[in-house]
Structure 1
Amino acid sequence: MDIEIKRGLAEARELAGEHWRALLAYMLLGVALPFLLLASEPVLSMDAILALAIAPETFRLAGSIAGPLYLLGICAALLCGAMLALWSALLAEIREGYVAEIMYGMVAGAAYLVAGLLFFYLVGFLLSLPFKLSVGAEAMRAEGTPIAIARQTMLTLLSAWLGARLCLIGPAMAAAGKLEPVTAFVESWRRTARSQWRLFAFYLAFNIIAGALIALLFVLHGFLIIGGEATRMAAMAMSSVWLVFWCAYFAIAVLVPAGFYRASQFGGSAETFA
């Protein structure tokens, strides 16, 4: 099956126009609600994260780490559940309503989350093993060294390639109403085989642009925090900017794979693994 980027993006725009109410509803569930929950935890607030990044030697954690980790787990489950629920709304032949979509999304989203964490943990472990054996863990963690730069470059390229090959897992699960991601993994690998380098270029460019925007927002927010009372109101307003950014990121992360999935249905056959 061949996926044309232009056609996939056109399908994504069409889906956004047809299902804008569902898109807004699941943005609230998957982005706005977790954003508010995280903002309620001082350790996980954007100000605390920026303070840790700017001056880690002066930052001290207070209390137990179990609470923030528990909250992060809840937010991750809400995010993945909203993504699967939205993919179901976009791609199911017959919509069964928000309640059924949310129930499906929470169950399928949990499987999607666990499988993704296990897969990328395994990939990360296998990739880091040669570096640890050849140069040692300390040299691998050192910043600015040729080894660290090479490792980061390799991880960036690999993450874009894996993102291209596995981008259809969620849409494949939701379109068929599946609760497990294993068969969807195989289907995504099969559907993206012929167009993998085209998709790789797209996701590499997307990751670079998103990373640059995040860095820009971090720098701007950090500058406003350092400014103290003079920029306090502007720093508080940055929370709204972050929320808008993550809502836009969520929309792209769901709509584009859904568009690629629909575009892949018009292609020919391909080998299961390539």
Structure 2
Amino acid sequence: MAKMSIGAAFSETFAFMKANWMQMLIWVGGALVVVGVLGFLLLGSTFSAMAMAPNDPSLVMGAFGKIFLFALVAAVIFYGVSMLIWRGGMHPGEAPNFAWAFQAGPALAFGMFVVMIAAYIVIFIIMFILTLIFGAALGGMGGFSPEALTSGGASAIGGGAILLMVILYIAMVVFLLWVQGRFMVAGPVMANQLTRNPVTGLGESWRLTGPSQWTIVGFYLLFVIGIFIYALIAGMIFGGVLGAILGGSAVGAILTMIVMAALVYLPIIMISFSMPVGVYRAIAPRASGDVFA
């Protein structure tokens, strides 16, 4: 276990992507096609029916049920594919283990769901306690109303309360980034050890990320900002060029969506799959099978 540097994490992330881009392109592209077909089959007629009868409560409830089912199936597919990518990249030449991947992937998804629910419960409890404390200081919950925060003698207290709420919001975002960072390498750990137990991955991730936890938060934040800037600039360039070339026809719009998905969103997904392995390689001892460079 080593203390990570942001430069090493970036280097390992792009090294993994460079060594495994074809494998990721096949798995991620295939997953997108499968999810797209399933989405059309499960939701296409549902959205058409809702457009014809938007005020039918039974139709709306049925649509929510189908959307939840689709989201669940899509999560199983993408988490399973992520396990195939991580295992294949860290142990090249090994035959894909579909049975393991599509058990370990959903298990990790469920584990992360539990972790995030626990994190939001902690945030809710802290926010509730602070609201009670500062609400009492401002004369009850009404002290947080716009009138109370801007009127007379309460203006100074109200300004402090607004500043406190901004600080708490920033603290909440940092806390969620920290939680994500502490469990970022759970998937690669499970892939490297070929385990289906999410507790093993989550526990080992917590142990490995301890010495570098705030460096990982900074790396994650820089990556999110970089991806946002890339998506914004690439979307404007490709969208504008394709729009000018293909015009505003329906066929042109479909072709634009396909090209945008291939040139903008697919690379972002591939980088997102590479990032956890990059962090894992930067903080964990290299196993003999982990040979990508």
Same fold (TM over 0.5): yes
2:148 corresponds to:
none
Map of 1:256 onto structure 2: 275
Q: Which amino acid aligns with 2:29?
A: L
Deviations 1:241-263 (A, max 9, x none): 24654422321122122122222
The farther-off stretch of 105-114 and 175-184 is: 175-184
| Partner of residue 33, structure 1 | 34
Distance in 2 (CA, whole Å) between partners of 1:213 and 1:59 is 40
Instruction: Output one character per residue of 1:21-44: Cα deviation in whole Å (capped at 9) or x when no partner.
Output: 321222124434324433552499
Letter in 2 for 1:78: I
SS of the aligned residue for 2:211 comes to coil
1:88-107 aligned within 5 A = 88-92=87-91, 95-98=93-96, 100=97, 102-107=98-103
Alpha-carbon shift at residue 232 of structure 1 (Å): 5.1
Match of 1:239? 257
How far apart, CA to CA, are the structure 1 residues paired with 2:263 and 2:84?
21
Question: Once the 2 structures are TM-superposed, how far is the Cα of residue 104 of structure 1 from its aligned partner?
Answer: 1.6
Match of 1:18 in 2: 19
Report if the CA contact (8 A) 1:30-1:83 is conserved: no
Q: 1:243 and 1:44 mapped to 2: Cα distance?
A: 27
Alignment of 1:116-135 (within 5 A): 116-132=112-128, 134-135=130-131
What displacement does 1:265 show? 3.1
Q: Which amino acid aligns with 2:113?
A: L
Show structure 1 runs of 5+ residues with no match.
46-57, 222-228, 268-274
Aligned twin of 2:75: 76
Q: Does the CA-based 8 Å contact 2:119-2:176 persist in structure 1?
A: no
CA distance 1:6–1:209, shift in 2 (3 Å): closer
What is the aligned partner in structure 1 of residue 174 from structure 2? 157
> Aligned residue pairs: how many?
240
- Could you tell me the percent identity over the aligned residues? 17
In the superposition, relative to structure 1, how do residues 149 and 35 fare at CA in structure 2: closer, same or farther (>3 Å)? Answer: farther
Secondary structure of the residue that 2:276 maps to in structure 1? helix
5 Å-filtered alignment, 1:148-227, equals 149-150=166-167, 152-211=169-228
Q: TM-score, normalised by structure 2?
A: 0.67
Q: Residues 2, 133 of structure 1: CA spacing in aligned structure 2 closer, same or farther, 3 A cutoff?
A: closer
Q: Kindly tell me: are residues 73 and 231 of structure 1, through their superposed partners in 2, closer, same or farther at Cα, counting changes over 3 Å?
A: same
Query: Does the CA-based 8 Å contact 1:30-1:81 persist in structure 2?
Result: no
Q: Is the 8 A contact 1:84 1:174 kept in 2?
A: yes
Distance change >3 Å, CA 173–CA 67, structure 1 → 2: same
Distance in 1, matches of 2:15 and 2:230, equals 26
Shift of 1:17: 3.1
Checking the alignment, whether the CA contact within 8 Å between 1:4 and 1:263 is kept in structure 2 is yes
| Matching residue within 102, 107, 122 for 1:111 | 107
Cα 1:255–1:230 change in 2 (3 A) is closer
More displaced stretch, 168-177 vs 231-240:
231-240
Q: Distance in 1 between matches of 2:219 and 2:56?
A: 40
Which of 242, 257, 265 lines up with 2:284 in the alignment? 265
CA offset at residue 166 of structure 1? 1.4
Query: What do residues 209-263 of structure 1 show as CA deviations (whole Å, max 9, x unaligned)?
Result: 4456678869x99xxxxxxx95755654453224654422321122122122222
TM-score scaled by length of structure 1 = 0.71
RMSD over aligned Cα, in angstroms? 3.8
